[in-house]
Structure 1
């Protein structure tokens, strides 16, 4: 069987320093994959840097957006582009160096037994290395709340290092995904499970960024808290998990984390 075609979506906003390093490492790790840089008109000229790289490497494409609209819309735009181009597998990762490209082959390999694979910091074998303790506490607390509120059996529902088979993204209903910040990751995860898809978590090492500045803000945290709470309250407000034209939704399965060395 021919190898599946892979597109890796990387959203950027003011990442001109880190992007060349991330692209080079990704091309070494998965040389057969294509890379889509999704730039939200970065003031620092990241889009121009991406175009320079694409001019030298036919595996790199650039999707320019008119302005900063948030992480979620950027990923939705990238996913739509990749699906329209006919890729079999769509992956996502950050441009700031916090996701190690050398971990991507393990995520892609795990798709042999799953519809979607989530890179997880908070399952055995995973970790967040050199991260400020406040950020780690925030991430662990957010994931604990997601598990309790939404009954999602995931160790890391907020992580952004993932890989999907195309049919999984086609089942997610991208039109309904409205989140701007990292709660986009939670929304996609819950939609995968609601669609009855098989999800696997693979341990990864998450690194604190060395270049640029974090985009995390109080507004992003508030959006996530309000969205997750709203989803949790839907059954109490009369939304019982039924689609008018499909009947009851099926709950997908989460397989045990794939154990592998992350060192």
Structure 2
């Protein structure tokens, strides 16, 4: 009997109840140039990273039209198309770019439709598995933004709809206009400001996709709270941070990103680290 790929040790969740993915994915933001702008320094390594992630059992890849813009989506197609059976692709629309590190929400229905159509073309698919509103545009009624995504879903161009960087109140408002299956907010061991959103997602059966899931910083410094547990498990601080997220909630779907094959291998190995209840609590209380 063959050994399952390492990512499978994270277990699974079902997006929308019907799209089963393993709970350790890959986030493709870092495949672009500095400031999430332009082409990567090493395009060949970017392709190798994507292919290696899939080899290791990753079946959920998250990107956005604004990464590059469109550079990340094109690299995913170059590396993986025709896509292996069971690979779920998630992308986002709703942020426009004027330059490196410049992000501005645009939620006009015609813009969201245009961007979804471009993502379909750049990814080379007829339907996007998970299309996420990258940010709610405060200048546009939520009903108009989610209503357009619901129309795209009815047309068969989107399978499921998700949200990004939202409050519980915003999720509830969005759900009045479309079926929402996931939420992607900033969350990691060092920054748990979105705890209420995570609890809501778990309670309501939504997937919670933490962006920037590895933020060890001072936690990984010599003498810091991750040093001892890292040695105990023979793991890196980054791996422990991911293991903590997986232990935190069955709704959790971390998407660590990197532009290095070595780091993608290290991150995915975190799926096999099982923290005890005491270790989990100690890490949480140390921050």
TM-score class normalised by the smaller sequence: 0.3 to 0.5
**Counting strand residues as a fraction of each chain, which structure ranks higher?**
1
Kindly indicate whether structure 1 or structure 2 has the higher relative contact order, using CA contacts under 8 Å at least 6 residues apart.
1
TM-score (norm 2): 0.31
